[in-house]
Every structure is written in C-alpha cells, then in structure tokens.
Amino acid sequence: MNSLVITKNYDAPPFCEKEVLRYSGCKEADENIIELLRVCKIEAWEKLSYKVCYVELEVATDGETCDFGILKIKSRDLSKNLCGCERAILFSATVGIEIDRLIAKYGRISPTKALMFQAIGAERIEALCDSFCEDIEKEKNIFLRPRFSPGYGDLNILVQKDISAVLNFSKKIGVTLNDSLLLSPSKSVTAFVGIVEGKDPAPKSKCETCEKKDCMFKEVQK
C-alpha cells in the first residue's frame, strides 16, 4: 500500500459561467448579472490558487464499514459508493484564502458581489476537483467513482478529523479544520474516490448518485 501523501499544484481549470449562475441561484441571467459575473471573475482570477494533496489507500468494504488500513469509517453510503473497489484516493483540495477575503470585503459593501464571489468560489473548487480526478485517471490509467465527502449521506462530518490526520493538509496545502469541523479556506474540499480498473464506472456526477431530491444546487442533466 502506498501511503505517501502527494501534493499537486494546478493552473486554473476551465471556467463555466453556467455553473457560477447555478451556484448563485440565478435561473435566468440578464445582461447586468452576466456583466457582474465577469467583473467579479476578473477581480478574483489572479488571486486564486489551486492546490491538492492526496494519498492512495487500499480499501475493503463490509456492510457499513470501510477499512482503509490506517483508518476505519462506519458509513453505509460511503461503503455503497466504494463497493467493488480495492483501492481509493483520499484527497483535499483548495482554491486558497483570497476568495474568502473578497467575500468578506463585499459582504460589508455589496452583498450582490459577495454572493457572486461565493458562487465563483464554489465553481472554482468543483472545477479543481474535476481536474484533479481527470488528471489521476490519465496518470494511473484508471477510472474513478464519483467523489464522496464528509457530510454526504450518512458520512459523519467528524471524519474530517481522521482525514486531517492522514493527509496533514494544514502543512501540505494550507487547509485548516476549526472547532466546528469546517474547513478554512472555505472553498476547500475533502473527499474519497473509489478506483475502478478496466471499465468506466459511469455516472461521474455525484449529483447522479445523491438521493437528496430537493437540492437547489442539483445539476441539470445535459
């Protein structure tokens, strides 16, 4: 088992205005909203950084238990997600603290801009996670299951403590965990991703595997 934590830095992933509008709650966007989005993007763009740290672990699932060797997690939903996988990737990703500073700044003087920066940050971290997973698939010639994060389904947020211990993400990429188990910078993610060899385990979208029916952020199938 390879338990070495690896760090990667990325250039900015492709940007999707449609996703930003979805995260901002805009079902219909007029010219003023599009212009606001583009102005905010310009202000944020050079301030963002894209960092990931990860480790590849062996995994065995048994009912509600996922055994990664160096940690065991009880979660029926995670076990279901990883069923059939013998290995998994555990990773943390962040786009840095500057987007939080923009959100805080404009939260005082322009709530509309603050909302747009929130949406841009959400789109950026998701795009980074997508780029990382695509990168790993190509690098290792494997396929990955949809990523699964603490807070999804029955995967308890307390697992963040174990993930922090395994990845040491504070040292690796500057992500910290507060007393409420929230990540800082806020546009940061931790997730498990099952490895499948030989056959593409479609679907890729985590929304397609989520049982929540009333989520306002659920992706519209293309």
**Cβ contact 173:7 at 8 Å:** yes
**Cβ contact 150:156 at 8 Å:** yes
For 22, residues 6+ apart whose C-beta sits below 8 A from its C-beta are: 119, 217, 219, 220
* Confidence category of residue 61, pLDDT binned at 50, 70, 90: very high
Range of the domain at 94: 6-58+90-209
The count of domains in the chain is 1
Q: What is the pTM of this model?
A: 0.89
* Confidence category of residue 197, pLDDT binned at 50, 70, 90: confident
pLDDT digits (tens, 9 = 90+) for 114-134: 999 999 999 999 999 999 999
pLDDT digits (tens, 9 = 90+) for 170-192: 999 999 999 999 999 999 999 99
Looking at residue 29, its pLDDT comes to: 86
CATH number at residue 98: 3.40.109.40
Q: Residue 221, Cβ neighbours under 10 Å: how many?
A: 8
